[in-house]
Structure 1
Amino acid sequence: MDQLAAMRAFRRVVDAGSFTAAAAELNQSHTIVSRQVRQLEVELGAQLLNRTTRRLALTEAGQEYYARCKQIIDQIDDAAQAVSAHQARPSGLLRINAPQAFGTLELTGWLPQFIMAHPQIRVDLVCNDRFVDLIEEGFDVALRLTQALPDSTLIARRLAVSDMLVVASPAYLKRHGTPLEPADLVHHNCLTYSLAPKPNEFHFTAADGKPHPVVVRGNLQANTGIALRAAALAGLGIATTASFIVHAELRHGALVHVLPEFTLKPRELYVLYPQNRHLSPKVRAFVEFASDWYRTPRWA
C-alpha cells in the first residue's frame, strides 16, 4: 500500500463528503479510492469512517487521524513547493575555483556582472594553481585553462581559446635584439612558467607545420603568469604566457609579440561541474553566463 496516497485519498473523502466526489477530484475510480481507505484502516487497526447510505462521519479515531493527516500532507506539499521554488530561481552559495592568474585578471572582470544579474546567489571564489577535486572539496564549478583535460566524470564545456605567446618589452628588444626564429631564444633571458610540465622546453610550430623545439634558460621562473608579465614589462627578459594575461599590454604597445610566425599549443578554457541528474539553477546560471560572455572573442 502507498500510505501517502491512501492518506491523500482519505483526506479528500472527508473534505469532499463522499467517495464519489473524492474519486472525481482525484480522477480515480470510486473502487480505488474506497480500497485505499479500507487498506489504511486495516494498516492502522482502527475504523476511520462510519459509512451509511446517505452520509459519511468520522469516528473518534478518524477525527484525530484526519487532523494529523492534514498536517502531514500540508507539510509535505509545502516542502515540495519550497524545493520547486528554489529550483526555479538561482540562489544560495556558489563555490567557484579558478586558476590564480585567470581568477585575478579575467574572472574578476565579469563576475560582478554575474552577481548583480543574480542577487540571490552568494559567491565564494577560490583562486589557486594546484589540482582541486571539485567533489571532495565542495566546489560547485571550476574554470580550467589547459592543453588537454584528464579523463573525469565531470561535465566540461569549452568556452574559449587563449593563445600562448612569446612577449618582451620594446626596451629589452632594443638592448638585446629581436629573435627571428625559435632557435634564437637560446641567446636570450627567458622567463618561464614553473608549473608547466617542462618549463624550459618550448615546442613551436612554423606556418608550414614544421616543428621547432627549443630548450631555453633564464633567471626567473614563476608559478603565475602575472609575475612573468611584470618581469617582461620591466625589461628583464622574454616571457611565454597566455594571451589573456598580456592582450591589453600588447594592444597598448607596452609588450611586443615575439616570433609571431611561429605558434605554441594554445590553452583552452573550460567550465567544469559535477555530473548531477538535476543541475542546480545557480550552476546553470553561471555556466550560461560564462558561455555567453566568451561567445565574443576576448583576447585577439
Structure 2
Amino acid sequence: MDILKNMKVFVRVAETGSFTAAARLSDIATGQVSRIISDLEVHLRSRLLNRTTRKVVLTDAGQRYLHRCKDILALVDLSEAEAAQANSEPVGVLRVHAPLSFGQVYVVPALTRYLEANPMVSAELTLSQRIPDLLHDGYDVSLRIAGDALPDSALVSAKICDMPCVLCAAPAYIERRGVPHGIEDLAAHACLPLVTPHLAVESWTFLGEEGQVDVKLPTARLRTNSADALAVALTEGLGIGVLPMLSALPALRSGALVRILDDYRLQSTSVFAIYASRQYLDRKIRTWIDFLRDFVDVALAGNMEGFNESEPTS
C-alpha cells in the first residue's frame, strides 16, 4: 500500500465531499478512489467516511485522521522542497574533514570566506591525520593527500591541487656536513625519511635531465609520519629531508631551511576532495569543492611568487 498516495486521495475526498471530484483531481478512476478509501479503513481498522447516495461525511475518526494527514503531507512537501533547494543553492550544514597541516593553512581561511559568501551554510570542520570512513562518520567532504592517484573506491574524488616536495636542510647542518652537489653525495649524509603512504620510505625519486633516478637511503636515525615534525627536526640540524612545500615554505622563507639539489624535481603529492556521489550532488558540496580549488590555486601561486630557489653554496 502506498500510504502517502492514499492519504492524498483521502484528503481530496474529504475536502471535496465527492469520490468523483477526488478521482478527477487525482487523475484516477472513481472506482479506484473507492478502493483506496476501503483499503485505508481496513488498514486503520476504523471507518473514516459515511457514504450516502448524495454525499460523503467524515466520521469522528475521519476528522482526526484528516487533521493528521494534512500535517504529514505538509511536512512531506516541505522536506521535498528543502531537498530540491539543496541542489539549487548552498544551504545546510557542511561537514568537512581535512589533514591537520593542510587544514590549518588552507582549509580554515577558505572555509571562512566560503561561509561569508554563503550565509545559508554553516560548517563543521574536523582536522585529523586519521583517514575517516566518509559515510559512517557523516562527512560531506574529506580531503586526502596522496600520490598521483587514489586507490579504486566507490567514492568520488576531485583533485584540489598538486603539492610539490623539496629536499632541504638547515644552514647549520650544511655548514657542518657540507653541501651535497650530486645525488651520489647523499649516501654520506643523514637522510631523514617522511613515513607516509604516498611517499617511499626506503628511497627518494629524483627527476632531472638524465631522467628518473631512485636513490636508496642510508639507515636513518629518525623517522616520523608528520611533515611538520620532520620540518622541526631539519631546522634543528638533524639531517636532510624531503618535505611537502606546504610544511617547508615557512622555514625556507625565514632562512631556517635551505633547498638542496634544486636542479632536480622530486615526487609531488596531490590533495583530493572525496565525496559520496556525483548524482544529485548537494549544492553546498559542489560549490565548496570548486571554491576550495580556486582558493588553493591562488594561495599556492602567491606563496611561491618571488621564492628564492637558489642552491646553497659550500
What band does the TM-score fall into relative to the shorter chain? 0.7 to 0.9
Q: Mean alpha-carbon deviation: is it higher for 282-291 or for 236-245?
A: 282-291
Could you tell me the TM-score, scaled by structure 2's length?
0.77
Q: Secondary structure at the match of 1:270?
A: strand
Aligned-partner SS, 2:193: strand
Q: Which amino acid in structure 2 is aligned with residue 204 of structure 1?
A: F
Tell me the secondary structure at the aligned position of residue 75 of structure 2.
helix
Question: Alignment partner of 1:15: what SS?
Answer: helix
Give percent identity, aligned residues only. Answer: 28
* Equivalent in the alignment of 2:230: 228
What is the CA–CA distance in structure 1 between the aligned matches of 2:48 and 2:217, rounded to whole Å? 89
Do the aligned residues in 2 keep the contact of 1:206 with 1:212 (CA within 8 Å)? no
Partner of residue 37, structure 1: 33
1:127 positional shift: 0.8
Residue 125 of structure 1 corresponds to which residue in structure 2?
126
In 2 relative to 1, CA 292–79 (structure 1 residues): closer, same or farther, beyond 3 Å?
Answer: farther
Partner of 2:262: 260
* Aligned match of 2:185: 184
How far the C-alpha of 1:56 sits from its partner, in A, is 2.8
Q: Shift in Å at residue 156 of structure 1?
A: 0.7
Displacement of 1:149: 1.3
Name structure 1 gaps, 5 residues minimum: none
SS in 1 for 2:144: strand
Assess if the C-alpha contact under 8 Å between 2:191 and 2:217 holds in 1: no
Query: Which residue number in structure 1 is paired with residue 62 of structure 2?
Result: 65
Q: Point out the more displaced range, 1-10 or 142-151.
A: 1-10
Task: For 2:131 and 2:19, locate their aligned partners in 1 and report how far apart those are by CA, in whole Å.
Answer: 63
Displacement of 1:48: 2.5
Q: Which runs of 5+ in 2 are unaligned?
A: 305-314
The runs of at least 4 consecutive aligned structure 1 residues that moved more than 6 Å come to none
Give 1:292's aligned residue: 294
Amino acid of the structure 2 residue aligned with 1:154 = L
* TM-aligned CA deviation for residue 226 of structure 1: 0.7
- Tell me: CA distance 1:106–1:181, structure 2 relative to 1, closer, same or farther (3 Å): farther
- Whole-angstrom CA distance in 2 between matches of 1:103 and 1:227: 16
Check 1:211–1:73 CA distance in 2 against 1; reply closer, same or farther (3 A cut).
same
Q: Does 1:77 align with 2:79?
A: no
Task: Give the alignment's TM-score, normalised by structure 1.
Answer: 0.80
Q: Aligned in 2, Cα 1:11/1:293: closer, same or farther, shift over 3 Å? A: same
- 275-284 vs 76-85, which deviates more? 275-284
Distance (whole Å) between structure 2 residues aligned to residue 97 and residue 179 of structure 1: 39
CA contact (8 A) 1:106 1:244 kept: no
Q: 1:279 to 1:180 in 2, by over 3 A?
A: same
> In structure 1, which of residues 228, 234, 245 is the aligned counterpart of residue 247 of structure 2?
245
Find out whether 1:97 has 2:97 as its counterpart: yes
Alignment of 1:208-227 (within 5 A): 208-227=210-229
Amino acid at match of 2:69: I
Q: Report the Cα offset of residue 2 of structure 1.
A: 4.3
Quote the offset at 1:194 in angstroms. Answer: 2.7
CA contact (8 A) 1:6 1:36 kept: no
What's the Cα RMSD here?
3.1
